[in-house]
Structures are given as structure tokens and as C-alpha cells.
Chain A
């Protein structure tokens, strides 16, 4: 495997700041700072300062604040949805040419590379991608005599009904919970499974028939009493581990936690399909700031390249449960052994072939909030499916137009 390292301009030491969130658990902080220490020890002339910046949202706030005063960090690790936000701020260095003369386009798994591409230009190196997957309680499946995880929406509905347990009026176990707080992320997966990427660069398409059908399907499951109408991100994982739901849509990033903390055997499957398999990616790429010296940019690329090289991606993936972004990483003997040991990881990897970027529109935070609220209100029975999605689409598209006008002016 080629190991192309570009020497930084000799003599002077280039200092870089790297801001990152901690996605999966506190130990990741130790892993990332360990990686950075190793980078610093092996690269003369470059010193990277590791700056933990909270959650994805916190990290974005911290980066945007620094951009606001004209002193951005050299690199940061946001969620991939923020691509258009940062492009709108003219904050990102275009690394297409460097990546093309390197092995990035050949060796990165297409879906992962794609999360940092806008208009055929590359603005980051995917570092910690994740997708939602279907987790299921194998013990509960065995008790109910269901041999396999559902593969289609219809089977999902049947399975959820069969696994719901009620004692009179009292609910003992849900058939299915879709992890709340990120249910808009899962919803986008449903749209993709129904043959539609529900957004374009400057608008959302939640009012299309494919999207409406997806939400109507959720509503049917909720009305049938086999899917929880609402949940929280952490609460849904807790419910699964406590056996209060037989199936759960959650991030691949939760695999290690769910697998080791559940008192039963955990199965992982593709999210069931309708017309096709489909998922949206969470997690993010390492982005490089435009507003810095050329020496810094070059050093920053060297660092981003090193964080995503074959060995480091393989080690990172095994340690965290995130998916390695390079084909060559998955071919390494260590990764092959890991897949034998944790076959569930393979499912997530295979599903990523059907995945794409998540809601990369300007004002994506606002868009997410509006969509989540529309879904919640629909499932609670306050509004009809079509009306909810139509008004959410209108509201968000107006907001996107407003943000884009402001960016053009400013």
C-alpha cells in the first residue's frame, strides 16, 4: 500500500489545531489523543494540538466562533451534514487535486468519500462514518419462533406485531423502537429505501410521494401498537438493553455498547428495504480550513491523510465500532480476524454500500428540528402525514432560501 507523505516545508515547525467531538464513549478521547501523540512523534516539523470540543453540535459552535474571529482551527471533525454550512461560510479548503494525485479516490469506499463531495469537489477525508442499522434481540426472536431478521418493510411490520407483548392494556414489550433524537436520520433511510434521496443541495423533498409513504408506514406501525410513537436516543438504547423492545434502529456507533451491555445475544441486520436497501451516513469527515497559510494547509493534509491511512483506519474501526473508510483497511488480517470475532460489524460494513450523505443542505440543524417535530406530531396523531410533511418542507425550503440569500449578500 503506498504511503505518500509530503514533507512539510523544512526547518520551521508548523503548528496545527484539530478540533474534534467525542462520538461514542469517553475512551475515544484517549484513543484520538494517543493517535495525535504518535503523529507528532513521527512527523518532524508538524505539531498538532488535539482539542476536544464536546458533541458534534458543540464542535460546530466552537469552530464557527473561531471562524467568526478569523482564526479557525487548521482541521476539524464535524458531522457530514454540515458540509453546506461550512461551504456557505467559505471556510473549507478544496482538496480534490491532492486527493486525486494520491490514492484517496481509489481506496476510499465510495459512499464514504461521497459524504465530503459537493459539486464534484472534495472538501474532507471521511474519518468516522456510521449508519443506522437494525438491532434485534435474538433471545426474543427465538422465543417467538422467528428465525431471521425482517428484510422488507412488510416483514418488519409483521415481525414487530408478533414481538409486541401486552398484558391486558399494559405494554410489556414494544416490537420496534426507532431511536429518537435521530429519528429524522432513520427517516431519511426510509426515504432512500423507497427510492428517493429526500434533499438536493438547496432544498428538501419531504413532500414527495416516496417520503409521504415512508411516514405513513411509520404511522401504520404506531397505530397498530407495535412501534413506540416517541423515544429518546439514550432511552431507546436503554429500553433495548432492558428488553423493553425487541428491535431497535440505532447507530452502528452503538454496536460495542449494545453488544457488551445487553444481557442477551444481539443481532444486527440491514435496515429492511422497500424498493432498495438504503441508509444515510452519520459521522463525519476531517475538514481543512481555507483561511490559513499554505504551509499549514499542506501539513493539515498530511495529518488528515495520516489519520485516514490504512493501518490507522483499521485500528480506529476495531477500537470504536466506526466503519473503516478504506478498502485496504478491511483487507488487513487484523480486520478479517475482527470480523470473525464480531460478525455484526460486517453487516454494518456491507450496508454502507447502499448509503449516502445525510441532509447536506444549508441550515441543516434547523431542517432537522423541523422534520423531527413534524414526525413527532404526526405519530402523536396531531396532524395528517401529508399536511405535516408539506408544511415542514415549505418552512425548511424558505429557511434555506433565506440563508443562501444572506450568504450571497455577505
Chain B
């Protein structure tokens, strides 16, 4: 929905030094900030706007005479948003669904990618082409067949119904296969000489080296499934097992136009957990991008 956080300028890392000998020196050391700060501001803009709008009244949103900030912060949008749907329950479900999908995917794509990258078996290329085909099919095209499968498994209207179709990922397998292939085979040969089996080679040699890919894929997967609307709507009926975007849909998909202040309040509630998570792990994300690689 509103999250596109895959690239974040690192605004926190302002080295305090480099200011000794005049502005010329300073400019030399920090010129990057001249680009980064406006970018950071651009990135923050929608978030600020969301937060500010969530505190307005609906008349203020469209009144050109009203300022950017609400005259009186109207916090009542939050309780009144929460009364539309059980957002607490939705939040728990969203966390369960998204994290289960990610956990499942990390296992399946690692194993599949290793097989495609490093093993030789009959039909490998055909199978891999099939995996790629799966990436090319839009999810909507296979809704009905997925639905039929789930019904036969007796999973319709359960939390697993939102997880099972996504535990394998053609896209993730492809991404990881490419990364595995860049790892020099000397490394795995050495490990094999030391007596490692496939799983041990995977765990000790490959996975540490492809951390950036795993993290990049993790971000894509979490954002996609956190925001997924249509599939959860299709396979669930009960309030108890639905996820956050369905709650937001209640406020957004209206004949009369969206209910902006409450929609923004809802959006704030929905994106906050992801944002907090991102801020907490931000350093680690960036470190992993910088410190891995084959030396």
C-alpha cells in the first residue's frame, strides 16, 4: 500500500568529524548529505502527511482555507477507526501470516535454489523453466485453482489458507539461485574435502555469503504479503482470522469516496509495526549489504 521502504537513505550516520578546516573541507566530506537529506525528506513526506491527515476532521481535509496542520489535533479518529473492525485481532493474524510465509519461503527457496545452482539431475532445466513460468503467471490467474486445492485440503476459512499457497516462491528461488552461482565452487569443494555434506555446505558456506539476497527477498516478501488484500478476502469469511488490509478496505472501498482521516489513522496503525521493525533492524540490513561478499 504505502510502503516502499526497500531503499532508505541512511540519515542517521552523520560522522561528527570532518569539520575542521572550513566549509570546503566540510563539503568534501559531507556532500553526499546534500543529496541524501532531500531524498530522506521525500521519503518521509507521505508518512508525515498520513500522520497529519489522521488527526484532521473530514471537513478540514478538503477545505483549502485550512492549513497543513489540523487546527486542533483530533485523536478521536483512532478509537473510531478501531471500532470499525477488530484491528488488534487483525494485527496478530497479519503477523502470524506474514512471518509463517517468510519462514516457509526461506526454507523452501534455499533448498530449491541450492539444487538448481549446484546439483545435477535429469530434467533440471525443464523444472527450472517451470519455476520461472510460475513467476510470470499473475496471481489472479490461479486464484480459482488455488481455491479448489485449498477446499479439498479443507483449509478454506482458516489461517493456513493464507499461508499455504505462498510457502514456495519461484521468484525467491530464482533470486537465490543466481546468488549461489556466484559463490566460487572452490569454497564448497574445500568444505566437501573437510567432510561436509550438502546441508552442511549450504549452512556453513553458502548461506552466510548470500545474506544480502536473503534479506532483500525477505523485505519484498514481507511487504507483499503484509499488504495482500484480494487473496485473504477470498479465502476467509470470519472476522477472527482476517488480516489488516481487509480492515483498511472497509475504510477505503466506499461508494462515496474514502473516509480519509480514518483511513489514514488505520494506515498509521497498519504501517507502524513494519516501520518500527525496519528502524530497529536498519543498521543490520545495511551492515549485511556492506560486509558480505567474497574476499
B-contacting residues of A (Cβ < 8 Å)?
A: 17, 21-27, 29-30, 49, 51-55, 58, 61-62, 65, 68-69, 71, 130, 233-234, 237-238, 241-243, 250-251, 253-254, 256-258, 260-263, 282
Q: Which residues of chain A are within 8 angstroms of B259 by Cβ–Cβ distance? A: 25-26, 257
Cα of A69 to Cα of B152 in the assembled complex, Å: 10
Among the listed A68, A71, A130, A263, which residue makes an inter-chain contact with B255, where contact means beta carbons less than 8 Å apart? A130
Cα of A53 to Cα of B258 in the assembled complex, Å: 17
Cα of A61 to Cα of B84 in the assembled complex, Å: 23
Q: Which residues of chain B are within 8 angstroms of A69 by Cβ–Cβ distance? A: 147-148, 151
A26-B251, A29-B250, A260-B58 given; A68·B144 CB < 8 A: yes
A-contacting residues of B (Cβ < 8 Å)?
A: 58-59, 61-65, 83-85, 143-144, 147-148, 151, 229-230, 233-234, 237-239, 246, 249-251, 253-259, 262
Contact A65 B63 (CB under 8 A): no
Contact B255 A261 (CB under 8 A): no
Contact B85 A253 (CB under 8 A): no
Q: Which residues of chain B are within 8 angstroms of A260 by Cβ–Cβ distance? A: 58-59
- Counting chain B CB atoms within 10 Å of each CB, the highest count among A25, A58, A254 belongs to A25
Cα of A241 to Cα of B66 in the assembled complex, Å: 13
18 additional A-B residue pairs with CB within 8 Å, beyond A26-B259, A257-B257: A24-B256, A26-B254, A29-B85, A29-B250, A49-B238, A54-B233, A55-B253, A62-B234, A69-B147, A69-B148, A69-B151, A241-B62, A242-B62, A251-B256, A256-B256, A261-B58, A262-B62, A282-B255
CB distance from A14 to the nearest CB of B (A): 17
Q: Which residues of chain A are within 8 angstroms of B65 by Cβ–Cβ distance? A: 263
Who on chain A is nearest to B146 by CB?
A65
Among the listed B151, B253, B257, which residue makes an inter-chain contact with A238, where contact means beta carbons less than 8 Å apart? B257
A29-B85, A65-B143 given; A253·B256 CB < 8 A: yes
Cα of A242 to Cα of B249 in the assembled complex, Å: 24
Q: Which residues of chain B are within 8 angstroms of A282 by Cβ–Cβ distance? A: 255
CB distance from A156 to the nearest CB of B (A): 23
Cα of A61 to Cα of B59 in the assembled complex, Å: 34
Cα of A241 to Cα of B258 in the assembled complex, Å: 13
Q: Which residues of chain A are within 8 angstroms of B250 by Cβ–Cβ distance? A: 22, 26, 29, 52
A62-B233, A69-B151 given; A26·B256 CB < 8 A: no
Q: Which residues of chain A are within 8 angstroms of B262 by Cβ–Cβ distance? A: 26
A68-B144, A262-B59 given; A51·B237 CB < 8 A: yes
CB distance from A25 to the nearest CB of B (A): 5
